[in-house]
């Protein structure tokens, strides 16, 4: 009986501790969720937000010809904000031939949808990478965002309320 109580108590403690960490640290929860996403995606090549930030040196991606950043989120999500220089999936697919010899970095909210699209592109022989932790990870680096008028914004579409894992300086929209 003691062993059962101890085990149940330990499990309950672990669950409560995990919930508290997630509540008080959205970054911890975001990283945990992305780890689960990676399990689902398998060996999809990825690039971290820190590496992308360093590659672009916080500059407009449109001026970086070696990299093409593709946003695969819904139109509603993209209307709120996008990473500067990113193009949407439809535009990318329309002009796919123009991008065949460039490094393609695909993103969504946290990396799930973009991971599957990255797989599809790689199956077609395209040098594509999933942006780990998506636009949410970008906000944790205080990465710049532009609204639909190409003006700087701190609003970010987080897909839905449970995905409100951005940093406090950003305004979540869902």
CATH number of the domain bearing residue 155: 3.40.250.10
d(CA 148, CA 76): 10
**Number of compact structural domains in the chain:** 1
Query: What is the reported pLDDT for 56?
Result: 82
Query: What is the reported pLDDT for 59?
Result: 55
What predicted TM-score, i.e. pTM, was given to this entire model? Answer: 0.80
- 29, 22 Cβ separation under 8 angstroms: yes
d(CA 90, CA 131): 18
Closest CA to 48 of 157, 134, 112, 118: 134
Query: What is the reported pLDDT for 26?
Result: 66
Query: What is the reported pLDDT for 13?
Result: 46
- 44, 79 Cβ separation under 8 angstroms: no
Query: What is the reported pLDDT for 12?
Result: 53
Kind plus residue range of the DSSP H or E element containing 36: helix 26-41
Residue 104 lies in domain: 2-173
Query: What is the reported pLDDT for 23?
Result: 54
Q: What is the pLDDT along the chain (174 residues), one digit of tens a residue?
A: 767 765 765 465 455 545 544 455 666 766 777 777 777 888 999 999 999 999 887 455 555 568 999 999 999 999 999 999 999 999 999 999 999 889 999 999 989 999 999 999 999 999 999 999 999 999 989 999 999 999 999 999 988 877 777 677 888 898
165: left (phi over 0), alpha (psi -120 to 50) or beta: alpha
Q: For 90, list phi and psi in degrees, rounded to 5.
A: -60, -45
Query: What is the reported pLDDT for 22?
Result: 46
């Amino acid at each position: 009986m003691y062993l059962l109580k101890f085990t149940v108590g330990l499990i309950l403690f672990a669950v409560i501790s995990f919930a508290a960490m997630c509540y008080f640290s959205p970054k911890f929860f975001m990283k945990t969720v992305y780890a689960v996403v990676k399990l689902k995606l398998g060996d999809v090549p990825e690039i971290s937000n820190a590496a992308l930030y360093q590659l672009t040196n916080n500059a407009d991606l449109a001026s970086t010809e070696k990299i093409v950043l593709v946003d695969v989120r819904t139109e509603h999500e993209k209307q709120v904000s996008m990473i500067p220089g990113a193009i949407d999936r439809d535009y990318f697919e329309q002009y796919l031939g123009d991008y065949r010899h460039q490094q393609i970095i695909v993103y969504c909210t946290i990396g799930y949808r973009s991971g599957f699209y990255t797989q599809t592109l790689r199956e077609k022989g395209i040098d594509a990478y999933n942006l780990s932790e998506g636009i949410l990870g970008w906000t944790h680096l205080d990465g710049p965002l532009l609204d639909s008028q190409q003006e700087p914004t701190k609003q970010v579409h987080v897909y839905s309320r449970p995905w409100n894992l951005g940093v406090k300086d950003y305004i979540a929209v869902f």
